Structure 1
């Protein structure tokens, strides 16, 4: 779940019945991405799966890039490539790698740390204030990650999968800050198309050398297609529409829904249990995110 923000004037959420519907739909879509990764990651391998995801997501958004191509001269593309690696290619790879080794709920819970990591990176490198309340929220969130990393799923240690998921969320936090400072003013859908396209091109040589040597099951192809078209391309469009209507701060509340839907779908369709450790870690992380958002308000 990679995001780029461009604040715009918006209507209060309470005045538009579409807002809670769109937030729930987006939470369900991004929650389902961890289910699709869990299904497709092993047959494809992380590199091939992420390449399919990036390419399909870029194709959905390319019309927006074409329309705004004058705003993306050649001199801008090295920076776009860097942001693409930090905000899309590497985090997607880390989550796909984790999906091969842990239940879908683990990645979904780790993803919620993006909000906290965004605040931490802004404080460490861009001089933004963090405050005592938000600092406390960060500590509680990190405690949740530690709790999750020390747990087991089906008797298997998931520590490294948690490290991968938390690292992906950290990179998302770096990426959000880079986008905010270097792509401000550019059409967000076009910027997303540019970064997804750059990420797909960066990974293409590695994906070609790591393409599956055995036939990929139909269910894995369907999951990979849904991951690219639905959870990347179309989800970005829905997210930007929310930002335009209610602003980035309110739109970011979708963070609370992603782990819920991620765990629910994994339980319904893959029979993956939600362990007490997952519940405790999820409660700590989501609680810290809620506290952080309240502190910002």
Structure 2
């Protein structure tokens, strides 16, 4: 029968579309997070902001785990390994560096600077997971995308403060890459929801400790007027609890290289949200950088796009 697909192909297509929808939704949520963070940093220093965000996010996920009767206790190293790596790298250190950098780097630029992640991830993954690698077209695509990142970032050597901020954001990208590559849930026995709750808690506790030892980053230096509180709650529940639950689920299914590419999808959402909320302008260099990122992403995903186009034309 024309157009008939075997059951396996049907389920592959359905799962692929669901993952694509979740991927796009995650990119949108994390794009808004850059603008929400920028707004909250007016009243809360970077480390306390990251700490309270993930304190609340972890609490929300633990509440869901308990309410739904899921198993909560990690059972061994197969559970603790992704909890510790993801918590310390992707939650703790990454957000401390990122939020500190965002004090001098605009949200859309910070989001775009994380485009270093898709460049670093294949290189690191090549040594840790030899079966996952980019095609030659994919390598070109990553380089083109990074060119777009550099075009948008445009660091100014004469502005030392801004340059330090750029450096902090790029350092956060390195830490994120390490967390993504070395987080392995293949031996985990704990359910995904409980696993992510513990991961957020480990990151939150690391950030809480940071408020005690990093000068100028104590909760005493923070204030929470109503508008700031609303931004913090949004950060905790949407990009935080829900966003990281989606991220680690997709990371387990798609792998670090595929998930690293999400950093090329986030910046347009960050720029759009910044324009809507704060009226931030988008210059010609930013538009050109976005175009380069789109071209790079298409090159990386060339095989998938060709298969989709062939399926549509054959239907």
In the superposition, the TM-score normalised over structure 1's length comes to: 0.78
Equivalent residue, structure 1, for 2:26: 26
Note the alpha carbon deviations across 1:183-231, whole angstroms, 9 max, x for none: 6665333222111111111221222461243633322221111111111
- Separation of aligned partners in 2, 1:148 and 1:210: 33
Matched length: 284
Q: CA deviation at 1:89?
A: 0.9
Does the aligned pair in 2 maintain the 1:151–1:277 contact within 8 Å? no
Shift of 1:151: 4.9
| 2:144 aligned with 1:136 | no
How far did residue 78 of structure 1 move? Answer: 6.9
1:270 Cα offset (Å): 1.0
Residue 57 (str. 1) matches residue 66 (str. 2):
no
* Contact preservation (8 Å) 1:149, 1:158: no
Whole-Å Cα distance in 1 between the matches of residues 249 and 210 of structure 2?
34
- Bigger relative contact order, structure 1 or 2, given CA contacts below 8 A and separation 6+? 1
Equivalent residue for 1:287, pick from 295, 306, 313: 295
Instruction: Name the structure 2 match of 1:221.
Output: 229
Cα distance in 1 between the residues matched to 2:137 and 2:48: 42
Question: Any residues of structure 2 matched to 1:64-103 within 5 Å, and which?
Answer: 64=65, 67-73=70-76, 77=80, 80-103=83-106
Q: Confirm or deny: 8 A CA contact 2:40 2:49 kept in the other structure.
A: yes
Matched, 1:106 2:106: no
Helix, strand or coil at the partner of 2:183: helix
Task: Look at both structures and tell me which one has the larger radius of gyration over its CA atoms.
Answer: 2
Deviation of residue 177 (structure 1)? 1.5
CA distance in 2, matches of 1:293, 1:184: 30
Alignment of 1:197-208 (within 5 A): 197-208=201-212
Distance 1:160 1:13 in 2: 45
Partner SS for 1:102: coil
Alignment check: 8 A CA contact 2:145 2:297 kept: yes
- Picking from 147, 153, 159, the partner of 1:149 is 153
Range moving further from structure 2, 125-134 or 187-196: 125-134
Task: Check conservation: 2:211, 2:219, Cα contact below 8 A.
Answer: yes
Displacement of 1:256 in angstroms is 5.0
Q: Which residue of 1 aligns with 2:167?
A: 163
What secondary structure, in the 3-state scheme, does the structure 1 residue paired with 2:282 have? coil
Deviates more, 1:69-78 or 1:202-211: 69-78
Which stretch of structure 1 is more off in the superposition, 88-97 or 126-135? 126-135
How far apart are residue 52 of structure 1 and its match?
A: 0.9
SS at match of 2:105: coil
Residue 177 of structure 2 corresponds to residue 173 of structure 1: yes
CA contact (8 A) 2:92 2:204 kept: yes
